[in-house]
Amino acid sequence: MSGQARSPVCALRSVGKQFGPVVACEGISIELFAGEAVALAGENGAGKSTTAKCLYGYYSPTAGHIEVDGQEATLRSPRDGEAAGIVVIPQELDLFPELSIVENMFMGQERPRTKIGTFDWGRMKKTAQDILARLGLRLDVSLPVKLLSAANCKLVEIARALNRNARVIIMDEPTAALTDREVRRLLSIVCDLKAQGVAVVYISHRLDEIFEVCDRIVVLRDGKTVGDKPTSEFTESSLVKMMVGRPLESLFTHSPHPTGAVALEVKSLTSSPSFRDVSFQLRRGEILGISGLIGAGRSELAHALFGLRPYSGQILVDGTETKVRSVSDAFANGIAYLPEERRSQGLILPFSIQENISLASLGRFTRFGLVSDKKESDFAHKAANDFTVVGAGIDAAVSVLSGGNQQKVLIAKTLARNPRIIILDEPTRGVDVGAKSEIYKIIDDLARQGCAVLLISSELNEVLAMSDRILVMREGVAVQTFERNEFSPEAIGAAAAGQKVVSDVA
């Protein structure tokens, strides 16, 4: 596909980036050709984002250089990158919450003007609307971004990049926050972009996506390139082996766990406008998956159960009606929550790994009201080890960790309280295959120890493999519950999309 005789649009030549003593990547040479999608694959902390950041001018490499059209280019900022036609959809959300969708989409860009010289907002809105419509999002583009869900923010970021007429688009985990339907749209857009001659750099932990749209795969391990071959020369297991450095036998763990008494019961739970009349039971030792499309109300349901959102209806814990009006009410009832948006909801970025993990469980470490440093650090050490958090020591600020490693810190933090009921909202988002299988083992263990687990996930494979039952939500309503022997991707997908007439409304 990629005529090697052609010259690359741009290239990394022996690029390296060091942060003090930490070598994030070194000796990276990658050529990018028009119309070709190249995957950057590797475990959390392998150096994918850092490599990408060197390419679009976010970082100046500490070794090697970037080449654009065969010429060495010095990119001092993402703005320089954009001027050279290299645009990014970053891994972490990067929008101005107070500004509108259209303002965000035209931020830092030449804005069209009317005949009398004022900004032509009418035209900008039309353009913004058209691009979002291609992504399947129909929204008033004058709404401030802060009103959007995490998934819709991601779609706005993708739209912003598409609005730049780039020659090279770097997508760093673009689908981590999306559900299947949006993922399908994005992948078809990647194919359109290739057909238009754009070079795409695609970073994802979802290997099926890589196999679907990428022509070539570059594998990074410990900051170095360990493979660069056409996709057709890889199989999923050979790719995993190259990434992890060893074969991975099984991704999912689902052992039979006896279920006990009902730990959590929800009756006619309603929180307008997000969800209404939701009822279900969750037993000790049971994993209840919640599936649905973006906007189905799943995270909002989690927020209500965790005291972050007012509700009407009943929440019963161990058979007793409980008012969950605040996070401390939730904690008092043994409920813990792993939020989907780690940066804004879960972690305090400037704080260290240790502080983040132990903050959640203050009280577990206090004697006479003081935090016991020793116990705190023992626990954080164990937690960091359990999750093989890669990076500097546990005193390092969470902000310097790679995206997937931040997620692991967040999980350790959530478990630090020994919850009896745990709500996991997209627990493996942005996490590499090795760590995913560790997280699945942990979820399975929790259930076996009698914890009641609510698993919200947009990855259908994940909910199917891990859950004992699946509740499907659509447009704020619990439409159907499936027992494990009724599971199939088609049945769940159809219920989520409302393609089948559902007779038994929960």
Min CB(208)–ligand ATP separation in Å? 17
Spatial contact of 319 and 265, defined as CB atoms under 8 Å apart: yes
409 or 471, CB closer to ligand ATP?
409
No. of helices (H) and no. of strands (E), the chain: 16, 22
Which residues pair with residue 227 across a beta bridge? Answer: 219
Instruction: Give which of ligand ATP, Mg ion, none residue 437 binds (C-beta under 5 to 8 Å, depending on kind).
Output: none
Which region, judged by CB under 6 A, interacts with ligand ATP, from 37-45, 266-274, 292-300, 370-378? 37-45
Phi, psi for 63 (deg, rounded to 5): -145, 155
Selected binder of ligand ATP within 47, 90, 289, 434 (CB under 6 A):
47
Nearest Cα residue to 68 out of 166, 208, 134, 140? 166
Which residue's structure tokens are 């998956």? 289
Binding status of residue 50 toward ligand ATP by CB under 6 A: yes
Which region, judged by CB under 6 A, interacts with ligand ATP, from 17-25, 112-120, 131-139, 436-444? 17-25
Q: Which amino acid is residue 429, in one-letter code?
A: R
Which region, judged by CB under 6 A, interacts with ligand ATP, from 39-47, 294-302, 330-338, 417-425? 39-47
Count other C-beta atoms under 10 Å from residue 315's C-beta: 22
183 or 433, CB closer to ligand ATP?
433
Min CB(285)–Mg ion separation in Å? 35
Selected binder of ligand ATP within 390, 451, 455, 471 (CB under 6 A):
390
Min CB(170)–ligand ATP separation in Å? 12
Min CB(46)–Mg ion separation in Å? 8
Selected binder of ligand ATP within 49, 333, 354, 414 (CB under 6 A):
49
Selected binder of ligand ATP within 2, 44, 291, 299 (CB under 6 A):
44
Binding status of residue 22 toward ligand ATP by CB under 6 A: yes
CA distance 164 to 157: 11
Min CB(40)–ligand ATP separation in Å? 8
Selected binder of ligand ATP within 162, 304, 380, 401 (CB under 6 A):
401
Binding status of residue 299 toward ligand ATP by CB under 6 A: no
Binding status of residue 400 toward ligand ATP by CB under 6 A: yes
Which region, judged by CB under 6 A, interacts with ligand ATP, from 43-51, 80-88, 106-114, 288-296? 43-51
CA distance 408 to 398: 11
CA distance 169 to 206: 18
DSSP secondary structure string for all residues of 339-368: -S-IIIII--TTSBHHHHHHHTTTTTSEET
Binding status of residue 476 toward ligand ATP by CB under 6 A: no
User: Is the sign of the CA dihedral 490, 495, 497, 502 positive or negative?
Assistant: positive
Q: What mask of x and - would describe binding to ligand ATP in positions 350 to 389, judged by CB under 6 A?
A: ----------------------------------------
CA distance 506 to 504: 6
Selected binder of ligand ATP within 30, 46, 439, 471 (CB under 6 A):
46
CA distance 127 to 106: 10
Selected binder of ligand ATP within 271, 358, 405, 458 (CB under 6 A):
405
289 or 346, CB closer to ligand ATP?
346
For β-strands 216-221 and 224-230, DSSP reports them as antiparallel
Min CB(431)–ligand ATP separation in Å? 8
For β-strands 168-172 and 199-203, DSSP reports them as parallel
Binding status of residue 159 toward ligand ATP by CB under 6 A: no
CA separation (Å) from 165 to 162, 193, 198, 294, 365?
6, 10, 9, 28, 54
Binding status of residue 334 toward ligand ATP by CB under 6 A: no
DSSP secondary structure string for all residues of 61-72: -SEEEEEETTEE
Is 234 strand, coil or helix?
A: coil
Q: Given the rule CB under 5 A, which residues bind Mg ion?
A: 49, 91, 402-403
H/E run at residue 422 = strand 421-425
Nearest Cα residue to 37 out of 243, 189, 220? 189
Spatial contact of 230 and 216, defined as CB atoms under 8 Å apart: yes
Which region, judged by CB under 6 A, interacts with ligand ATP, from 44-52, 65-73, 310-318, 484-492? 44-52
Kindly state the tokens that stand for 279: 């009822």
Kindly state the tokens that stand for 179: 């559900």
Instruction: Give which of Mg ion, ligand ATP, none residue 44 binds (C-beta under 5 to 8 Å, depending on kind).
Output: ligand ATP
Spatial contact of 338 and 422, defined as CB atoms under 8 Å apart: yes
Min CB(264)–Mg ion separation in Å? 35
Binding status of residue 403 toward ligand ATP by CB under 6 A: yes
53 or 283, CB closer to Mg ion?
53
Spatial contact of 394 and 368, defined as CB atoms under 8 Å apart: no
42 or 78, CB closer to ligand ATP?
42
Residues near ligand ATP (CB under 6 A):
19, 22, 24, 42, 44-50, 91, 390-391, 400-405, 432
